[in-house]
Amino acid sequence: MKVIVDTNIIFSGLLNTSGTIGDLIFNSENVFDFYSCNYMRFEIEKHWDKLKQISKLSDKELKESLFRLFTKIHFINEEQIIEKIWLKAENLTTNIYIDDTDFVALTDYLKGVLWTGDKELYNGLINKGFKKVVCTQELLLIRTQQTKK
């Protein structure tokens, strides 16, 4: 299953690689293929100092953690996505969080599911009829069901 990872999931994974999110990313290779937008790299760079402060990791430790996470994620250039998909994604994210348009567009483009920890985004997309969105608990359940097969 193709799973598109948004920025808040990566932030959470960086801050606690041994937590549930880290477990899903590092221990689901036979169940999920993780993808994200190139834009996400910019988001991490933009919030690097805050991530360092919250994590209490050194610059080197945080970079190592980021490198480990990035080895599990395929990055897609957003320029590959056609305009029709962008417009649909923009329409969905309007009045929710427009900065997540890239992730919604990539989800549609790859025919995957968007993994987010942002409740407002999750609920907003569901309320607008976008069913290709999952929270961490749902992804855990999917992995459990898939590994039992």
Q: Output the domain CATH number for residue 111.
A: 3.40.50.1010
d(CA 37, CA 99) in angstroms, rounded, equals 12
In terms of Cα–Cα distance, which of 77, 139, 82 is closest to 114? Answer: 139
Tell me the pLDDT tens digit for each residue of 21-73.
Answer: 999 999 998 999 999 999 888 888 898 999 889 888 888 988 998 999 999 99
Domains contained in the chain, number: 1
| Residue range of the domain that includes 13 | 2-148
Tell me the pLDDT tens digit for each residue of 79-109.
Answer: 999 999 999 999 999 988 888 999 999 999 9
